[in-house]
Amino acid sequence: MSLPLPPASNLHAVLLVTKSRSLGPRLVFHYPPLSPSAAALAANQATTWFGNQTSTGSIDSHSSSSDWDSGTENEGGEDDIETGSRTSGGRGSGRTGASHRDREKYRPGGAGAWGRQENMEDDDTELDDNGLDNRSKEENGDRKNKGGDYDWNTVLGFKVDALEKMLCPSHAFNKRRFELGVESIAFVGAPMFVRDDGFWKKKRRKKKGKATNLDLLEKLKIEEKEQIDTSDVKRSGSIAMEPFDYPQGFEPGYGHGLMSGAASGAASEAGSDTRSTSTTDNVDAPDMTMFNVVFVLNPPALEYQLRVQEMYDNVTRKFAKALKYEQARSQYIWKESKNIIDIKQRAKDNNESVSATWRKIINASPLAKSIAIMFDAISNDKIAHVHFDATFSTSFQIPQQDSIPYLPNALEPQMPGLWLTTSNVVIDDNNDAPMTQHAALLLLEDAETLVKELEGDAKGNATALAYYIRAIVPTKSLQKISVTHNILAQDMEYIARHLVYWRRARLIAPLHPRDTYIVSPNADMSALQIAIPSYATRFPTLPSLPKVLSMLSGTPRQFRYFIPTNEHREAYMEILAWLMRGGWVTQLRTFAWVHVSPEIKATVAQEMEHEALLKKAEDARREVSDNESLAGSLFSDKRSSFLSGGRPPTPLRRTGRRDIDDENMDASTILSPRTGPWRGSPARPSSDAGSTSSNRAMMPLSSTARPASPALSQTTSGLQQSKLHRPSPLHLKTTSPSRPPPPPSQKFSPTSPSVAPVPPSPPLPPQNFTASLVFAPQKANAVESRWLEKIGQSFEDQETRELWPVLLRHLDGKHALEDMGVREGLKRKRVAALFAAVREGGWLVVVRHW
């Protein structure tokens, strides 16, 4: 299992590259405007990425670092660079004696460069990468030492023209993952090519647009639709949305009204004229043939695959698809690109600074703005809400875990503050109904904050959504909420999933005063100093946060014991919700397995042996009766009694049995699969035969003796029997050593009718058995289910006996007993009583953890 890692996108830049017939490959836009050079990024990572370089070759690493440094000093051979930016091919004429080193000049110094470059804009005039400086100096003759802010020709330390060529892959990469690694820097993109017919989307028959009846969930769906469409996973029913491929000019105006309030002002005009031109543009041979949004990452070596994959699946690909949709609809990218290129060119001609120009571009172009938003959010592991234009907006994120099932040890990556629980672990049982309906939704922000956020986002349906959100309480399951507030269960679940996906809420087991909560071992203690005041403002009159945590620190107790009075109940539950939200506490859940005692095993083994013998006897009898019919009358009496003996034998019958028990001792122990180390080989073959036959014999019995059936008399008799058996080991101990073990092979041979009068089997000494656990009662084998059944029969309480099979389903160590009530529709108290009763009997091994 790979270790779960804390979220870290390692995103350092976003680039937009286009390839057009008129301009060729073009790096249209990059964000942030002043990015650290790739070399600096790589160097910044030295500890993790090149952790083994010291061992692979220290000389190499030395020489490289000296290159790194000397390169920054290098002033020679600059001539070709100015020309290089335009005439990409004919370079290198002046460069004869220079070593490879001068090509490294754009690499600034070591790890320190990263920090300094970030502040470049402010005061860093003495840049470490003189190469950049020189170039800009030469190009903008009058400007000296202004550094990267006037450097129009490098991005990430690479010359723009080289970079844009590299990022324009061949058509083979269409819609594929584009992944280019330069040292430890990964360029991840999803290149989109225009179709051969000049369109960006396959022409499809016009689909009947869904009438824009403002369904209550419309707002959500709009955010979600990108998800759904791009991932090509159509969700069922109400969630499924129209794909993006409306024919040009026939957009059903979907969402126009919804989004108008939110879109940026600059976008509206651009949006309107693109719409008018889109139909005409598209028909002509398109100028732009490809675009590629490239995300620049520097993940640590060991996380490389994971981070790149995450970025590509969740952000890069989806973003590219959304852009392609926009491009298909309105030539969005190309228009915006031309606009951006224009602004850049003008600024460059006027020698304006990069950062100022970038501000201008971002204000003028919604595309640039969306890239900037994207970068800012994703690089901080947040959710990016991107407005492409007035009519279309969507959100992107790299999903994060909201809980972990186990506590990282000192050697593993720490994720303090993450909710520690196993309740989200999917148990791969097919018969497990999803718990969503039984779970409660814990909002991670206050309902009002959330509502306000929504109102800012959308108009029409916000009130309805607000109604939903205000209805959500962490103490009630979704099912209950939907019943009390008369909300459709699917709607409720949909909202829940949506809120969970967008990190607004978590699904938890409903908070309840009768549940037990402990201070989470994964609580983020470093957040405590901030949390204390915010807690204090929230709950000014109640015990302080340290006090509450201290209260929950001791021996685990049900939460209700901490609530002083009934009036405090609500407030304390709110505190609990607050604590849950911050990952301060976690629920202590109870898991259990059935513990099978040797006595039970002995009893069952004995019964099974008896049945086996019975069956043999019957076989033998049948054989005998076939051969000599007169013997039939002799056996008929016995036979009837044995048939009734299929059930647990009554105490009366038992008495007669004891005198003959010696002979059967061996055979019966063989039947048990878990006897101690065996003491003799001759029994092996017969044991196999015995167990299979016993299985067959068992089937009819289990159907009659199933506790669910109202065979009360039978079960009580079983109970009595097992009680009577308890003292038997004492009795047997004395007898067993004295008896001579007869060869079992003879005894079972069906050919000798002398065996036919089957002696009732003796109680077996539990010493021959060791106690064991049943790990999965649902998948118990034949013997195990016999044990379980036997245990069930031993309960004196009628109700316990009835509920035992129900309880059994949860005794696999994977299902928390706390969940049992809602799953089975039982009252909490009843479950508790049942559990206590069974536990009292010593039938359970119980462990409590999160």
User: Per-residue contact track with other proteins, 98 to 137, x per CB under 8 A?
Assistant: xxx--xx---------------------------------
809 binds other proteins (CB under 8 A): no
For residue 198, is it left (φ>0), alpha (ψ between -120 and 50) or beta?
left
Assess contact for 454 and 219: CB atoms under 8 A.
yes
Tokens of 566: 């009934």
User: Per-residue contact track with other proteins, 239 to 278, x per CB under 8 A?
Assistant: ----------------------------------------
Assess contact for 375 and 31: CB atoms under 8 A.
yes
295 binds other proteins (CB under 8 A): no
> Mapping DSSP to helix (H, G, I), strand (E, B) and coil, where does residue 217 land?
coil
Alpha helices (H) along 187-247: 218-230
Q: Who contacts 33 (Cβ-Cβ below 8 Å, separation ≥6)?
A: 354, 355, 357, 358
Q: Who contacts 271 (Cβ-Cβ below 8 Å, separation ≥6)?
A: 263, 330, 366, 389, 390, 391
489 binds other proteins (CB under 8 A): no
Residue among 113 and 371 whose Cβ is closer to other proteins: 113
> How wide is the angle at C-alpha 254 spanned by C-alphas 253 and 259, nearest 5°?
100
- Cα dihedral sign, 612-616-619-625: negative
Q: Calculate the alpha carbon distances from 850 to 317, 405, 595 in Å.
A: 37, 8, 22
User: Per-residue contact track with other proteins, 141 to 180, x per CB under 8 A?
Assistant: -----------------xx--xx-xx--xxxxx---x-xx
Residue among 483 and 525 whose Cβ is closer to other proteins: 525
Give dist(CA 820, CA 315) in Å, integer. Answer: 39
755 binds other proteins (CB under 8 A): no
C-alpha of 615 from chain center: 52
Name the residue type at position 673: P
Hey, how many other C-beta atoms are within 10 angstroms of the C-beta on 655? 10
> Mapping DSSP to helix (H, G, I), strand (E, B) and coil, where does residue 179 land?
strand
Q: How far is the CB of 591 from other proteins (least distance, A)?
A: 6
User: Per-residue contact track with other proteins, 662 to 701, x per CB under 8 A?
Assistant: ----------------------------------------
Residue among 49 and 291 whose Cβ is closer to other proteins: 49
Residue among 103 and 256 whose Cβ is closer to other proteins: 103
364 binds other proteins (CB under 8 A): no
Hey, how many other C-beta atoms are within 10 angstroms of the C-beta on 165? 16
The residue within the footprint of other proteins, chosen from 549, 617, 698, 791 (CB under 8 A), is 549
Residue among 57 and 685 whose Cβ is closer to other proteins: 57
Residue among 697 and 780 whose Cβ is closer to other proteins: 780
> Mapping DSSP to helix (H, G, I), strand (E, B) and coil, where does residue 206 land?
coil
Residue among 441 and 545 whose Cβ is closer to other proteins: 545
> Mapping DSSP to helix (H, G, I), strand (E, B) and coil, where does residue 443 land?
strand
The residue within the footprint of other proteins, chosen from 238, 272, 449, 550 (CB under 8 A), is 550
- Return the residues of window 710-729 that contact other proteins according to CB under 8 A: none
> Mapping DSSP to helix (H, G, I), strand (E, B) and coil, where does residue 792 land?
helix
The residue within the footprint of other proteins, chosen from 21, 24, 62, 63 (CB under 8 A), is 63
The residue within the footprint of other proteins, chosen from 66, 269, 276, 301 (CB under 8 A), is 301
Q: How far is the CB of 250 from other proteins (least distance, A)?
A: 37
The residue within the footprint of other proteins, chosen from 215, 772, 802, 841 (CB under 8 A), is 772
193 binds other proteins (CB under 8 A): no
638 binds other proteins (CB under 8 A): no
Residue among 92 and 685 whose Cβ is closer to other proteins: 92
Q: How far is the CB of 577 from other proteins (least distance, A)?
A: 19
Residue among 98 and 488 whose Cβ is closer to other proteins: 98
92 binds other proteins (CB under 8 A): yes
515 binds other proteins (CB under 8 A): no
- Return the residues of window 70-89 that contact other proteins according to CB under 8 A: 88
The residue within the footprint of other proteins, chosen from 8, 23, 182, 364 (CB under 8 A), is 182
51 binds other proteins (CB under 8 A): yes
Residue among 170 and 633 whose Cβ is closer to other proteins: 170
Assess contact for 311 and 297: CB atoms under 8 A.
yes
**Phi, then psi, of 158 in degrees rounded to 5:** -105, 150
User: Per-residue contact track with other proteins, 576 to 615, x per CB under 8 A?
Assistant: ------------x--x-x----------------------
53 binds other proteins (CB under 8 A): yes
Question: Which stretch in 120-128, 140-148, 279-287, 401-409 sits in contact with other proteins by CB under 8 A?
Answer: 401-409
The residue within the footprint of other proteins, chosen from 47, 486, 566, 633 (CB under 8 A), is 47
Q: How far is the CB of 632 from other proteins (least distance, A)?
A: 47
Give dist(CA 166, CA 15) in Å, integer. Answer: 12
432 binds other proteins (CB under 8 A): no
Give dist(CA 802, CA 578) in Å, integer. Answer: 39
Q: How far is the CB of 530 from other proteins (least distance, A)?
A: 11
Give dist(CA 410, CA 199) in Å, integer. Answer: 55
Q: Write the DSSP assignment of 88-154 as a string of letters.
A: -SS--TT-SS--GGGGGTTS--STHHHHHHHTTTTT--S-S-HHHHHHHHHHSTT--S-GGGG--SE
For residue 8, is it left (φ>0), alpha (ψ between -120 and 50) or beta?
beta
Q: How far is the CB of 837 from other proteins (least distance, A)?
A: 19
| Strand (E) or helix (H) holding 186 | strand 185-189
- Return the residues of window 440-459 that contact other proteins according to CB under 8 A: none
- Return the residues of window 553-572 that contact other proteins according to CB under 8 A: 553-556
523 binds other proteins (CB under 8 A): yes
Q: Who contacts 833 (Cβ-Cβ below 8 Å, separation ≥6)?
A: none
509 binds other proteins (CB under 8 A): no
